[in-house]
Amino acid sequence: MGVVAEGPTHGFAVARLLAADGALGRVWTVRRPLIYQALQKLLQLGLVSNRSTQRSDRGPVRTIVAISPAGRQAMQRWLAQPVDHVRDVRSLLLLKLALLYRSGGDTRSLLIAQRRQLLPRIESLGRLRDEATGFDGVLAEWRLASSRATLEFLDAIVTPAPTA
């Protein structure tokens, strides 16, 4: 839906962007059949609508889809929400940032919200690590280190270092 929000498009174009070598595929790779299934589901939910068709020399007629007002609202809400888990930063947060950069949207608000969400978890993980023993301690240390690294990443991109 994020790609469709950029402007009317068709499934093949979305699939190219989300292919492993595509602009968004570097973050989130989706195979072509899943793209068409997702577009059908978005149509059923009223989040996108069919606009027109376009002839193609490389296959069947392409259906041009566009985002609906409800789809745009849902997309804006999703883009503004921080991810729930540190493990989702690599996929979902980076996808959100990529879509925001592509659209010229506000990345700073999302990054600040993500940072705010992460801080209490780091404090909680520190306490958990201090109380854990055995492998539970190892796992808590890993989660704490990963969370701190994520916080460092967020701080680096929310306020980029000045260029010389």
Residues 23-46: pLDDT tens digits? 999 999 999 999 999 999 999 999
pLDDT in tens, 98-149: 999 999 999 999 999 999 999 999 999 999 999 999 999 999 999 999 999 9
88-93 average pLDDT score: 94
Query: Is the entire prediction scored with pTM above 0.75?
Result: yes
Tell me the residue range of the domain where 12 lies. 2-79
Q: What one-character DSSP code corresponds to residue 4?
A: H
Considering the domain architecture, whether residues 93 and 150 belong to the same structural domain is answered as yes
DSSP 31-98: -HHHHHHHHHHHHHHTSEEEEEEE--TTSSPEEEEEE-HHHHHHHHHHHHSPPSSGGGIIIIIHHHHH
Question: 6 phi and psi, to 5 degrees?
Answer: -75, -20
- Given pLDDT bands bounded at 50, 70 and 90, which one contains residue 162? low
104 shares a domain with 70: no
138-159 as b/e: b if 16+ CB within 10 A: eebeebbeebeebbeebeeeee
Same domain? For 29 and 57 the reply is yes
Of 79, 113, 140, which closes a domain? 79
**141, 148 in Cβ contact below 8 A?**
no
Q: How far is CA 136 from CA 62, 83, 120, 146, 147, in A?
A: 53, 24, 20, 15, 16
Same domain membership, residue 130 and residue 64: no
- CATH code: domain of residue 33: 1.10.10.10
Report how many domains make up the chain.
Answer: 2
Has residue 88 got a pLDDT over 60?
A: yes
Provide the pLDDT for residue 164: 56
Q: Are residues 17 and 50 both part of a single domain? A: yes
Average of per-residue pLDDT across 80-88? 95
Q: At which of 61, 79, 97 does a domain end? A: 79
Please indicate, yes or no, whether residues 63 and 133 belong to a single structural domain of this protein: no
pLDDT tens sequence across 7-20 = 999 999 999 999 99
Verify that 156 and 92 share a domain, yes or no.
Answer: yes
Q: What's the confidence (pLDDT) of residue 32? A: 92
Domain boundary among 79, 105, 140: 79
User: What is the distance between the alpha carbons of residues 141 and 96, in angstroms, rounded to a whole number?
Assistant: 28
